[in-house]
Amino acid sequence: MEKQAKIYITGHRGLVGSAVLRALQQQGFHNLVMRTSQELDLRIQADVDRFFEQEQPDYVFVVAGKVGGIMANSTYPAEFIYDNVMIAANVIHASYKCKVKKLLFTGSSCIYPKFARQPIKEDYLLDGKLEPTNDAYAIAKIAGIKMCQAYHRQYGVNFISAMPTNLYGINDNFDLQSSHVLPALIRKFHDAKQGNAPEVVLWGTGRPLREFLFVDDLADALLFLMEHYNDPEIINVGVGKEISIREVAELIRDIVGFQGKLVFDATKPDGTPRKLLDVSKIQQLGWQAKTPLVDGIRKTYAWFEATHRG
Ligand SMILES: NC(=O)C1=CN([C@@H]2O[C@H](COP(=O)(O)OP(=O)(O)OC[C@H]3O[C@@H](n4cnc5c(N)ncnc54)[C@H](OP(=O)(O)O)[C@@H]3O)[C@@H](O)[C@H]2O)C=CC1
Ligand SMILES: C[C@H]1O[C@H](OP(=O)(O)OP(=O)(O)OC[C@H]2O[C@@H](n3cnc4c(=O)[nH]c(N)nc43)[C@H](O)[C@@H]2O)[C@@H](O)[C@@H](O)C1=O
């Protein structure tokens, strides 16, 4: 990407979009285009088309989306499929019509089958049934991937797709009903410590395994892929290491300094038992995650404490 190129970051206020914005600014990109969802609802095709005709961006990061943890995904599947299908379809199609030089679409590790072989290679996509708690969201993300590939095949455009693992970091969603596990646990342990609660209740059995990537590392990877990856085949972005929910809970408990008990509510869903990405493809290109989990959690908790007082 040329330093003066016009770059459109969708969802720039979210966890990923705000990290992409920070990374672009740090690297000296200055011709950046952004809109909040109030200013431009990406589900409305006519508005998206008008915006692209006016702005004519050179590069597009498709990171906007309807996003949430296991409970939000399983409670609101209609919103997850509708919003994400519409956003992907409108932004990808408008980018094709306006001759965008390159587009990067973000999927997720939950697009892979529930019982995929581990670690999960990119070509295991559509090898088996999806995890029911997030199948609606996964299908929308798979539609986005397939659109990028179809538009490449038919029109020759350079539209690529990255599959990040579970993310966390600055600007995450800490709402206990809709968040992912890591921010949820930061809030639960923090509130319990403040209120001298004897225990914290976690969902599921604590046995599922997850891989966690610090969002600034993801942003670094997305910029790296914009610069160095031109293949319509999907590419995984992760750390290549997994940890159980119980272990990550203990780590967060210690960082926050909560001294009470952990209780697991097994009536709540575990979701997929394991989803460890095989990251050899991106590593062979020369990219690797930098932030150890403990450092990333410390930074995220410091940010949470500074921004969620009272
Ligand atoms: N968080 C995670 O663990 C993972 C996320 N991903 C993917 O990364 C991407 C970003 O996720 P994340 O940053 O966590 O999500 P957030 O919820 O933090 O941010 C989503 C952003 O999308 C924007 N948005 C949502 N709906 C619309 C709409 N209808 N029109 C315009 N903008 C909209 C929001 O804009 P506004 O703030 O203006 O309302 C918001 O800034 C998603 O595509 C997600 O699928 C993939 C793997 C894991
Ligand atoms: C990124 C990914 O994120 C989602 O998948 P997920 O990884 O299952 O989501 P999660 O982070 O919410 O949970 C991870 C694990 O943690 C357990 N857990 C314990 N206690 C809490 C808790 O308090 N909150 C939450 N949310 N989970 C908890 C929870 O029961 C589960 O076993 C997708 O829907 C999907 O769309 C997607 O792309």
Average pLDDT over residues 100-105: 98
Across residues 7-25, what is the average pLDDT? 98
Q: For 110, which DSSP code?
A: G
Which residue's CA is minimally distant from atom 48 of ligand 1?
166
d(CA 108, CA 137): 9
Share above pLDDT 70 across residues of the chain, in percent, rounded to a whole number: 100
Q: In Å, how far are 68, 76, 79, 139, 289 from 82, measured between CA atoms?
A: 14, 10, 5, 10, 32
Angle (deg, nearest 10), helices 77-97 and 135-155: 10
Other CB atoms within 10 Å distance of the CB of residue 122 = 17
In a domain, 126, yes or no: yes
Distance 65 CA to ligand 1 centre (A): 4
Binning pLDDT at 50, 70 and 90, where does residue 310 land?
A: low
> Do the domain assignments include residue 248?
no
* Strand positions, DSSP E, 205-252: 209-210, 212-214, 235-237, 243-244
Q: Is residue 184 part of a domain?
A: no
Q: Is 85 a domain residue?
A: yes
65 is in an annotated binding site: no
Instruction: Give the ipTM.
Output: 0.98
Closest CA to 217 of 236, 233, 235, 239: 239
184 CB under 6 A from ligand 2? yes
pLDDT band at 308, cuts 50/70/90?
confident
pLDDT recorded at residue 160: 98
CATH of the domain at 149: 3.40.50.720
Q: Count of domains in the chain? A: 1
Structural domain boundaries enclosing 58? 7-169+212-240+275-290
- pLDDT value at residue 211: 98
Does residue 52 fall inside a structural domain?
A: yes
Centre of ligand 1 to C-alpha 143, Å, is 17
108 in ligand 2 pocket by Cβ < 6 Å? yes
Nearest bound ligand to the CA of residue 107: 1
Indicate whether 234 belongs to any domain: yes
Per-residue pLDDT tens over the stretch 167-179:
999 999 999 999 9
Active site residues: 137
Q: Over range 294-305, report the average pLDDT.
A: 98
Read off the pLDDT of residues 230-244 as tens digits, 9 standing for 90 and up. 999 999 999 999 999
| Mean pLDDT, range 113-127, rounded to an integer | 97
195 within some domain: no
Residue 298 lies in a domain: no
Is 277 near ligand 1, meaning CB less than 6 Å away? no
**What's the CA gap between 237 and 107, in Å, rounded?**
10
Dump pLDDT digits (tens) for 22-63: 999 999 999 999 999 999 999 999 999 999 999 999 999 999
pLDDT digits (tens, 9 = 90+) for 214-273: 999 999 999 999 999 999 999 999 999 999 999 999 999 999 999 999 999 999 999 999
Distance, in Å, from the CA atom of 263 to the CA atom of 268, rounded to the nearest integer, reads 12
Provide the percentage of residues in the chain whose pLDDT is more than 90: 99
For residue 173 and ligand 1, the question of a CB distance below 6 A is answered with yes
How much is the pTM?
0.98
Ligand 2 pocket test, pick from 66, 181, 252 with the greatest ligand atom count within 8 Å of Cβ, gives 181
Chain segment 135-191, per-residue pLDDT in tens: 999 999 999 999 999 999 999 999 999 999 999 999 999 999 999 999 999 999 999
Mean pLDDT of the chain: 97
